[in-house]
Amino acid sequence: MKVAVIGSGNIGTDLMIKILRVSEELEIVAMAGIDPSSDGLARARRLKVATTAEGVDGLVALDEFADVELVFDATSAGAHKRHDEVLGALGRTLVDLTPAAIGPYVVPAVNLDAAAGVRNVNMVTCGGQATVPVVAAVSSVTPVHYAEIVASIASRSAGPGTRANIDEFTETTAGALEMVGGAARGKVIIVLNPADPPMIMRDTVYCLVSDCDTDAVGQSVRDMVADVRQYVPGYRLKQQVQFTRVRPDDPMHELGSVLVSVFLEVEGAAHHLPAYAGNLDIMTSAALRTAERIATGVLA
């Protein structure tokens, strides 16, 4: 399947490199940006990928666009709305890496078949891709009354698009914790850590549940981590799943009697981005996984 990427920043460039290096199902033929001097467009030209610095309008004007069936959007939530209108009218499928949330949320390890027959697929956020699988793993064993996640990423790995979409990040991720992860309520916190040298992405997942089979919950989480690792090799547990009894006088007791705590680390594959930018790598890896399944037509 011939594809194109809109967005010549870190995420778009990493996607391009991944497609060229590791994908057997996708062929990237075009990249669109809005900055003629961007490193991403320059790199694309060196790799013989057609480019335009005129955004989506320039993309559809390229000769190569005629054969494009799927477009990755690695821009911003605001820009994606117009991209959806333009490309949707032309019958193209979109894989959206912004938190615009126009299409259904897809987290490959949890609900990949939700992308079947859909014209616009939303990849949630980096925090969502990292933590929704864990909440889904817990909720597959016992109801999750409340889920809270803290996503800590290196400040250097948060580009202007990420910083401009903090509100959308928290809203979209919280929605995915509920709609895909199965939590009754979800809350999201993001931390941009300025540490030098930069830290690898860390995610903490808290789930409040009633009395449960702790062995079954722990095994479900470990199985889910193994599933995610199939397309994000740097995804791993930092320690064993923790279970803490909530005291009756604790306000949290109203939501659940057991607190499940899961600590994750996400190291990037360093195809284009530094290894510490696991937050960006998990997004591009999840988007690639989804697009490849769409291309091979194996979705239910």
Which one of 62, 126, 180, 259 is the catalytic residue? 126
Length reported for the chain: 300
Q: Find how far residue 251's CA is from the centre of its chain.
A: 32
207 is catalytic: no
Q: List, by residue number, the catalytic residues.
A: 126
